[in-house]
């Protein structure tokens, strides 16, 4: 996990490479998926980015998240900034359930590190393996295909109200190359 998460520019939209860096350097997100009834469901979870851009999320096979991924193969992941002013990046993903027990334990170990900020020692692996087995854990492998960003707009003083502006953003393909900043 990055010790210096990417800070979102407040005067322009993020470039495609900055969007990927934002995702790679943060650790919490809201995963959203369509339910059979009612509105969309959302859960705050830790995620682990891979070197090839996938986002891995450990969950229980019996939970609605895993069932929705198997049913629909699509999720939205709202990556949360941990700094003020609050910002976020919405990532649209194709998703699959991965049941590889080694991957499940590796992701759970990585999540423990992301939660605590310190690596879990290998002595924790047997306990994590047992927890994964007891809880019927799986990994949601989320493969980004597009992002949507709205930069933070914040008043630092009350006399700035006439200076705050907003603009529209757009969905950008995950693999897009940088061009001129979007405004």
CA dist., res. 132 & res. 54, Å (int): 21
Given the structure tokens 């469901």, which residue do they identify? Answer: 41
CA dist., res. 98 & res. 116, Å (int): 25
Which helix H or strand E contains 106, and what residues bound it?
Answer: helix 101-116
Given the structure tokens 């992002």, which residue do they identify? Answer: 147
Q: How far is CA 46 from CA 17, 67, 78, 132, 168, in A?
A: 22, 19, 11, 16, 28
pTM above 0.85, yes or no: yes
Given the structure tokens 């200076």, which residue do they identify? Answer: 163
- 140, 75 Cβ separation under 8 angstroms: yes
- CA dihedral 87→90→96→102, nearest 10 degrees, is -20
Domains of the chain, CATH where assigned: 16-151+169-173 (2.30.110.10)
Per-residue pLDDT of the chain (183 residues; tens, 9 = 90+): 556 778 777 677 788 999 999 999 999 999 999 998 889 999 999 999 999 999 999 999 999 999 999 999 999 999 998 877 778 899 999 999 999 999 999 999 999 998 888 888 999 999 999 999 999 999 999 999 999 987 666 555 566 566 666 666 788 999 999 987 555
């Amino acid at each position: 996990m990055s010790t210096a998460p990417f800070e979102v520019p407040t005067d322009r939209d993020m470039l495609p490479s900055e969007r990927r860096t934002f995702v790679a350097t943060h650790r919490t997100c809201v995963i959203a998926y369509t339910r059979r009834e009612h509105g969309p469901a959302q859960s705050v979870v830790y995620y682990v980015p891979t070197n090839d851009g996938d986002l891995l999320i450990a969950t229980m096979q019996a939970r609605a998240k895993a069932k929705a991924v198997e049913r629909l193969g699509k999720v939205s992941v709202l990556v949360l900034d941990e700094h003020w002013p609050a910002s976020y990046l919405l990532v649209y993903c194709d998703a699959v359930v991965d049941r590889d027990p080694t991957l499940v334990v590796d992701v759970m170990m990585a999540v423990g590190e992301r939660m605590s900020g310190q690596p879990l020692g290998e002595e924790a692996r047997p306990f994590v393996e047992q927890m994964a087995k007891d809880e019927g854990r799986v990994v949601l492998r989320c493969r980004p295909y597009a992002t949507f960003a709205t930069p933070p707009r914040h008043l630092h003083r009350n006399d700035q109200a006439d200076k705050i502006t907003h603009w529209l953003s757009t969905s950008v393909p995950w693999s897009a190359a940088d061009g001129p900043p979007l405004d």
